[in-house]
């Protein structure tokens, strides 16, 4: 199992490069779609976007097993909050990859009589749930850091000084909100990996929200969000020390 997981994880970097290219093409196509002179370029971008999407589906064939293995490991975490969030996130990712694999097999005619719209919709739902659990886990981690900071004497003194300065300059409106924001910033400042993870998951969230019709945007917004999250993902692969 471990050897197989290690082997499939080697495709992460390639998948993220393909993903960045895919969403860059989507963004560029949206920006150029009204320019008649760029009609041929738009068609080429659409073709490249489709090829990148197909290539990513091939890279993800082993990710179902990786996600199930990750869920097995996170199920034994001692922290109940992290155990719940990460296990559910990994299980929903596994279901997403199953749907994605079925769609890939249907696209190359390995299987037939598949309701493409239904499987695509289910894949988007599982992807959305996985991202939602990741964001809940981020919020849970931030709250723990804030509680930890609030109990440290050094940060309590800094918080008191900050509130006193705010009152003197008449910039504080609600002391509790000001204290909350101060602790949030102080907690995230020392954990850049957590900041990157929140940004990445937030950018990704707009994609399934648009596909499910929960929050309609346009191809330009989803392309930009997908590109930004892909670049953050590439950064995390290049700089493993930034991972949570």
- The answer to the question of residue 172 being in a domain is no
Residue 176 banded pLDDT, cuts 50, 70, 90? low
**In the predicted structure, residue 179 carries a pLDDT above the cut 70:** no
Query: Does residue 207 sit within a domain?
Result: yes
Is 162 part of a structural domain of the chain? no
Instruction: Tell whether 38 is covered by a domain.
Output: yes
Q: In terms of residue numbers, what domain contains 232? A: 2-151+191-242
4 has pLDDT over 50 = no
Q: What is the pLDDT of residues 121-175, one digit of tens each?
A: 999 999 999 999 999 999 999 999 888 877 776 666 666 665 566 554 445 455 5
Dihedral sign for Cα atoms in the order 202, 207, 208, 211? positive
**Predicted confidence band at 237 (pLDDT cuts at 50, 70, 90)?**
confident
Tell me if 177 is assigned to some domain. no
Q: What count of other Cβ atoms lies within 10 Å of the Cβ of residue 158?
A: 15
pLDDT band for position 35 (cuts 50, 70, 90): confident
* Rounded CA separation 26/223 (Å): 5
Query: Measuring CA to CA, which residue among 148, 175, 154, 152 is closest to residue 163?
Result: 175
**Structure tokens that stand for 65 in this block:** 């097993």
| Separation CA 102–CA 130 (nearest Å) | 19
Total domains, the chain: 1
pTM assigned to the model? 0.84
Q: 114: left (phi > 0), else alpha (psi -120 to 50), else beta?
A: beta
In a domain, 161, yes or no: no
* CA dihedral over 127, 132, 135, 136, signed as positive or negative: negative
Q: Does a structural domain hold residue 160? A: no
Q: Mean pLDDT throughout 63-74?
A: 91
Q: How far is CA 63 from CA 34, 92, 125, in A?
A: 38, 12, 17
The whole-angstrom separation of Cα 177 and Cα 174 is 5
């Amino acid at each position: 199992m471990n050897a197989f997981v290690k082997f499939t994880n080697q495709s992460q970097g390639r998948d993220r490069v393909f993903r960045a290219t895919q969403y860059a093409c989507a963004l560029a196509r949206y920006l150029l779609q009204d320019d008649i002179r760029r009609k041929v370029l738009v068609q080429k971008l659409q073709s490249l976007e489709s090829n990148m999407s197909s290539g990513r589906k091939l890279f993800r064939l082993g990710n179902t097993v990786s996600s199930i293995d990750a869920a097995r490991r996170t199920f034994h975490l001692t922290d109940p909050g992290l155990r719940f969030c990460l296990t559910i996130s990994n299980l929903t990712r596994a279901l997403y990859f199953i749907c994605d694999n079925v769609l890939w097999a249907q696209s190359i005619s390995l299987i037939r009589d598949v309701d493409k719209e239904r499987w695509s919709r289910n894949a988007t739902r599982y992807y959305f749930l996985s991202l939602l659990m990741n964001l809940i886990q981020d919020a849970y981690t931030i709250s723990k850091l804030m509680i930890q900071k609030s109990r440290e004497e050094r940060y309590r003194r800094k918080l008191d000084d900050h509130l006193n300065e705010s009152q003197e300059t008449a910039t504080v409106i609600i002391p509790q909100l000001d204290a909350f924001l101060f602790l949030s910033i102080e907690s995230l400042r020392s954990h850049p990996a957590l900041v990157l993870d929140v940004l990445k998951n937030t950018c990704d969230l707009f994609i399934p929200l648009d596909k499910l019709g929960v929050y309609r945007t346009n191809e330009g917004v989803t392309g930009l969000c997908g590109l930004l999250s892909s670049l953050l993902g590439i950064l995390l692969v290049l700089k493993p020390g930034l991972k949570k």
